[in-house]
Chain A
Amino acid sequence: MRVPLSWLREYVDFDLSVDELVEAISLHSQEVDGVHGLGVLDGEVVVGEVVEFGPHPNADRLFVAKVDLGGREVQIVAGAPNPYPGARVPVVLPGSVMADGTKLRKAKLRGLESNGMMMSERELGISNDHDGILLLDESHKTGRPVADYFPVGETVLELDVNPNRPDLWGMIGVARELAAILRTDFRIPELSFETGGLPTDEYGLRVEAEDLCPRYDLRRVSNLVPGGRAPLEMRRRIFAAGMRSINAIVDISNFTMLETGQPNHVFDASQVRGGIVVRRAREGEAMTLLDGTTRKLDPEMLIIADEERGLVIAGVMGAGDAEVGEETSEVLIEVATFAGRSIFETSARLGLRTEASGRNERGLDPNMVPFARDRVASLLARHAGGKIAPDTLSHYPEPVRDWEVPLRIERAELLLGVPVEKDEAARRLESLGCEVRSEDGELSVTVPTFRRDLRREVDLIEEVGRLVGLDRVPEELPKTSVPGGLTPTQKKVRTLRRLLADLGLAEAITYPFGPDRWRTDLGLDSGHEPPKLANPLSEQAREMRSTLLPGLLDAAVRNEAFGVEGGALFEVGRVFEAHPPPEGLRETAIHFRLTGEVNRLGPDVEPDAASLMGIEETPKVGGVLAGTIRPANWNASERRAGFFEAKGIVERLVPGASFVPEDRPFLHPGRSAAVRVGDVLAGWVGELHPETAERFDLSSPPAVFELELAFCEPDPTPRFRPFTNVPTVSRDLAVVVESWVPAGDMLATVEALGSPLLVGARVFDVYEGAQVPEGQKSVALRFAFRGEETLTDEAVNAELDRISRRLRESFSAEVRGA
């Protein structure tokens, strides 16, 4: 809501700077989104009378004028041709500051001095008209400040009105609110007019859709002067409030809406056939609107029609028929209340939002109707020569009356956390238009119908709190005595993220929805449909991810494209899988999703909530290691991403995991593995399949992994193993085995021996080549032994023998050099 301050002052007096006003409103009522300036912010604008006017001798498009400013004549260079000797014009003098901040100076234009500027409507903030200089009528006295007639500058506050306060969509409502904040009075324009026009009841009024239209009023105004313009000050205010001036009748209609917050509509009465019908649109009915578009309507939409055709989409926008035009001399004023939700849905479905629909969709107070109706009528009489009908037609079968809400002071004190004075609370509520009766410890508050948001005690407490001032609320802490903390799973995720960051990976967060290409490029089973968004922002963001991989790969592509030299990313996030409820349960599922209620299927059968949700979320951690993951240093060579880099990370996250070769369409068949914990699949790790890398536009395949969070143990609970203070003995054993023998199996077999002395075993070299027979490889193992006492050579050798024997039995391993 745009609030021009000069207009606001018509209803309420305040002596605050703009900053103070903004603060008062934002700390006690609504957010102020912006402050705009129009016209001349500071300086002198006077009425001038043109004495001479002619072309500039040195410029084709410029003119020069001599202007009398009231006993003083100045020369002014102008860009518009419309002034003439004798014309009255607004002249802004050098030194004045315009709304955009520019300061006007004495200037020389093509050799001629210009001592000021004759102003257009736009420069004065009256309209967007910049075609010529504004010509003032004879009532403006030469030499007088223009501000004596209308403001030459305007400050406009942009209020971000909360949806529960439709009363603030009108200047009067804002004035009432400000008066309440400042504890002062406000005034409403008085309605005084004479009647004498043609009667309204020559037209019919029939409300067919009563449920969508609680109130509908009509009043006729006849004998209007056709084609008139609204007074300058009214046009200026409409413009400052963000609307366009059209003609006197439309301007008066809009002015009243801005003033009261109550939209209205004015029909050219001569075009209305028979009478007004308020009904739902018919199937297939269409309407060509004022904006030139033709809209197909449906029976959910409310329209205003005459006996023959639709005239207005109710509360939203009118059609060309029966609209006010230059020839209009007689009108029917419609002021009505519509069901807010219906207006909202119609406007949303048509994609059509107007000043009127924005107000109507909040659901307005039917009791605002008479004032707005007669305000339009009286302004038409005053400014367009109209004669007001003696009668009105009104459909208002169920009048809304004010209501009473009790307010307990101790309840207010409990919620607000501050002492509340009963009298002050009462005065504050009265300033909002309530009537307050005091009963011991309690107030009985009668709420005016324009405050439909004040229904409950708690609503009144909010009003008291904000008007008294939230700055009065002290800072306290609740006296909690409940145990808090992270759950073990939450702690685990923390540790895991920290660990991955310490291992050199950067934490990324990517979107969980993407294109179907994500799935097809990975070669994932297309038979299993992922959950899909019904209304994605684009087709590129429709499918919910079933793996973190594609988002991370897209990030890797981006990094490569911008020349980032490799790098490692990880993400902790959820993946989604569709498990549609079986056909027989679908209705139950939808009912559950919409109402939270689970319908029993039989006396003891209750479906579980998870199956009714139909989408399963699994938290995972994924990573991508691309290109150079550690650049070369002057004393260290670079590390490039590969299977074992990724595997090393997985080993830190899932201690005790086993790695089993297993095909995945998007992974290198020889450089990938399933990660298992016991017999359960925990995830996978590997180098990306070169073809997949190509499809994603990656220059070389990165190493990738993905694990279910549930299987990760980045910081397993330690279990102490006692040890003795005797030296550890290290022995190497090199064996030759067939190339296919997995080294991991060899280690596992050694471990399975259960040697009481063996405390460590690792592979420190693998060799294939000239030194070993074709098809075989040498695997060098290093063992660490420790016993209860210092080990003898014999004891160690015996254990080493046992190991090599077992390796020979299991893998035909020949000890090298033996």
Chain B
Amino acid sequence: MARLAREAARLANTSKFAEQVRQAAEAGRHVDVSKFAEQARQAAEAGRHVDQTQVVAEASRLAEQAQTAVKAANSLAELERLRVEYLGRSSQLTELRRLVRELPVEARPQVGGAANKAAQNMEGAFETRWAELTVAEREERLRSEAVDVTLPGVPYPKGSLHPSMRVVDEVVDFFVGLGYRVAEGPEVETDYLNFTALNIPPGHPARTMQDTFFLDEGLVLRTQTSPIQIRTMLSQEPPVYIVSPGKTYRRDSDPTHTPMFHQIEGLAVDRGITLAHLKGTLAAMARHVFGEDVKVRLRPSYFQFTEPSVELDVSCFVCGGADPKCKVCKGAGWLEMLGAGMVDPTVLSEVGYDPEEFTGFAFGMGPDRMAMVKYGISDLRLFFEGDLRFLRQF
């Protein structure tokens, strides 16, 4: 309340001064303060009184003049110059205040009050204008500092990860989350581990179907990552939960086959593992990689080291099976994703597990092909040419 009252008083004073100054201005009177000083001195000498009303009017006229000038000031520098002019040591107002001391005692409060009011008014005007000009000048500076925001930013280097490896990492992360370990093995593998231990004895047609690269006698470039499963089972007791990504090699070269490609295989051997576990695990994996909405289905198949063997199809994540012209699934609505099955008891026996006590499932998938589907790549050969036009897209 007290603040409001003060404010009201200040406004009343201001309007009163304004009125006086207006009248002075109308009358076209112009009184030099130094003239008052002279008059005052003479009056004092003569024992006469200076006309107080005239002095008060002059003070408010000064205030009015200063305010007008301040409002017109266009820079902080100009404003500073005006401050010196109106409020500085040698300003007329200062002169006027000095004059007060020379007035008769009874006149002093009125004239002194008027001078103070004028000073306050001027200072208020200066402050307001100062703030206005500061903001304006800052805005002007910011305007002048504006850049073309469409110019490119500083080029921090951006490399890329290989599309197959992106899929490998994604699949591996999924299985790690389920409690699987990642098992690895050599790319040069023994004939025994690559074939015989996987229920593919010498002379079995599957051996040439796979078009193996041979090295020194008894050594091959692994045609599948399955020997890792055997190595793992030979080195530990169940339960086994592993996923094994890696490079594999077959003697094949055309737009859809390269002599090197990637595989990710997985193996779960435990008590009570069923085909339902296989289906549930791989369905969850497919959703992790291709999106929550995909569905899976199993089809019977044939693999030497699983029985029953199945293939897993994933519903087309592009068209959902709805588009007969879909380029990804070619209208089938399903994409062949991987081969899997329950580990053949012969394989379990080979590594010394009791197939009556333990069952398991195994699966194998091609991350290169998954990447082709996922990223819409048409030619597998691009994967292994180190072509930056290709690699930089991932």
Q: A residues within 8 Å of B by Cβ?
A: 26-31, 162-165, 340-341, 344-345, 348, 361-362, 414-418, 456, 458-459, 461-462, 465-466, 470-471, 473-478, 480-487, 490, 494, 497-498, 500-512, 531-537, 541, 544, 551-552, 554-556, 558-559, 562, 564, 567-571, 573-574, 576, 578, 580, 589-590, 592-596, 613-615, 617, 629-631, 633-636
CA distance A161 to B203 in the complex (A): 20
- Tell me whether A507 and B187 are in contact (CB under 8 A): no
Task: Identify the closest chain A residue to B218 (Cβ).
Answer: A593
With contacts A476-B274, A593-B192 taken as known, whether A507 is within 8 angstroms of B214 at the C-beta atoms is no
Give, as a whole number of angstroms, the nearest-CB distance from B261 to chain A: 10
Q: B residues within 8 Å of A by Cβ?
A: 151-152, 154-155, 157-162, 164-165, 169, 172, 175-182, 184, 186-188, 190-193, 196-197, 202-203, 205-206, 208-209, 213-219, 221, 239, 241, 247, 251, 253, 259-260, 268, 270, 272-277, 279-281, 283-284, 296-302, 307-311, 342, 344-345, 359, 383-389, 391-392
CB contacts (< 8 Å) of B159 on chain A: these are: 500-507, 568, 570
CB contacts (< 8 Å) of A503 on chain B: these are: 157, 159
CB contacts (< 8 Å) of B208 on chain A: these are: 348
CA distance A578 to B215 in the complex (A): 11
Task: Identify the closest chain B residue to A458 (Cβ).
Answer: B307
Of B159, B221, B272, B344, chain A has the most CB atoms within 10 Å of the CB of B159
With contacts A497-B165, A508-B391 taken as known, whether A490 is within 8 angstroms of B182 at the C-beta atoms is yes
- Tell me whether B155 and A163 are in contact (CB under 8 A): no
CA distance A551 to B387 in the complex (A): 12
Give, as a whole number of angstroms, the nearest-CB distance from A449 to chain B: 20
CA distance A535 to B259 in the complex (A): 12
CB contacts (< 8 Å) of B253 on chain A: these are: 537
Give, as a whole number of angstroms, the nearest-CB distance from B194 to chain A: 10
CA distance A594 to B202 in the complex (A): 9
Secondary structure type dominating chain B contacts: mixed
CA distance A130 to B91 in the complex (A): 120
**Cβ contacts A to B, 10 pairs, < 8 Å:** A416-B276, A462-B307, A480-B268, A484-B179, A500-B159, A506-B159, A509-B383, A512-B187, A552-B386, A558-B386
- Tell me whether A634 and B215 are in contact (CB under 8 A): no
CB contacts (< 8 Å) of B214 on chain A: these are: 533-535
Task: Identify the closest chain A residue to B280 (Cβ).
Answer: A475
- Tell me whether A473 and B276 are in contact (CB under 8 A): yes
With contacts A465-B308, A593-B217 taken as known, whether A482 is within 8 angstroms of B345 at the C-beta atoms is no
Of B196, B205, B283, B385, the residue contacting A475 (CB under 8 A) is B283
Task: Identify the closest chain B residue to A480 (Cβ).
Answer: B179
Give, as a whole number of angstroms, the nearest-CB distance from B243 to chain A: 9
Of B197, B221, B299, the residue contacting A27 (CB under 8 A) is B299
Q: Identify 4 new A-B residue pairs, CB closer than 8 A, beyond the known A466-B308, A508-B162.
A: A30-B300, A487-B182, A532-B215, A573-B247
Of B209, B300, B392, the residue contacting A470 (CB under 8 A) is B300
CA distance A532 to B155 in the complex (A): 44
- Tell me whether A465 and B215 are in contact (CB under 8 A): no
CA distance A552 to B160 in the complex (A): 16
With contacts A417-B277, A470-B297, A614-B219 taken as known, whether A482 is within 8 angstroms of B188 at the C-beta atoms is no
CB contacts (< 8 Å) of A340 on chain B: these are: 205
CA distance A348 to B391 in the complex (A): 40
With contacts A481-B179, A484-B241, A508-B386 taken as known, whether A29 is within 8 angstroms of B190 at the C-beta atoms is no
- Tell me whether A634 and B188 are in contact (CB under 8 A): no
CA distance A722 to B253 in the complex (A): 59
8 nearest A-B pairs in the assembled complex, by CB-CB distance:
A555-B386, A504-B157, A593-B218, A417-B276, A417-B274, A162-B302, A462-B308, A501-B159
CB contacts (< 8 Å) of A512 on chain B: these are: 187, 247, 260
- Tell me whether B284 and A613 are in contact (CB under 8 A): no
Of A459, A614, A630, A635, the residue contacting B216 (CB under 8 A) is A614
CA distance A741 to B300 in the complex (A): 72
Give, as a whole number of angstroms, the nearest-CB distance from B239 to chain A: 6
- Tell me whether A163 and B302 are in contact (CB under 8 A): yes
- Tell me whether A617 and B186 are in contact (CB under 8 A): yes
With contacts A414-B272, A613-B190 taken as known, whether A477 is within 8 angstroms of B284 at the C-beta atoms is yes
Give, as a whole number of angstroms, the nearest-CB distance from A52 to chain B: 46
CB contacts (< 8 Å) of A474 on chain B: these are: 276, 279-280
CA distance A541 to B267 in the complex (A): 33
CB contacts (< 8 Å) of B389 on chain A: these are: 559, 562, 564
- Tell me whether A415 and B359 are in contact (CB under 8 A): yes
- Tell me whether B298 and A470 are in contact (CB under 8 A): yes
Task: Identify the closest chain B residue to A344 (Cβ).
Answer: B205
- Tell me whether B280 and A595 are in contact (CB under 8 A): no
Of B221, B253, B268, B284, chain A has the most CB atoms within 10 Å of the CB of B221
With contacts A31-B301, A503-B159, A507-B391 taken as known, whether A551 is within 8 angstroms of B345 at the C-beta atoms is no
Of A29, A341, A630, the residue contacting B155 (CB under 8 A) is A630
- Tell me whether B385 and A482 are in contact (CB under 8 A): no
CA distance A475 to B155 in the complex (A): 48
CB contacts (< 8 Å) of B272 on chain A: these are: 414
Give, as a whole number of angstroms, the nearest-CB distance from A340 to chain B: 8
- Tell me whether B387 and A555 are in contact (CB under 8 A): yes
With contacts A414-B274, A417-B275 taken as known, whether A506 is within 8 angstroms of B391 at the C-beta atoms is yes
- Tell me whether B205 and A163 are in contact (CB under 8 A): yes
Of B169, B188, B193, B259, chain A has the most CB atoms within 10 Å of the CB of B188
CA distance A504 to B209 in the complex (A): 41
Of B196, B299, B309, B389, chain A has the most CB atoms within 10 Å of the CB of B299
CB contacts (< 8 Å) of B259 on chain A: these are: 511, 537, 541
Of A162, A486, A559, the residue contacting B176 (CB under 8 A) is A486
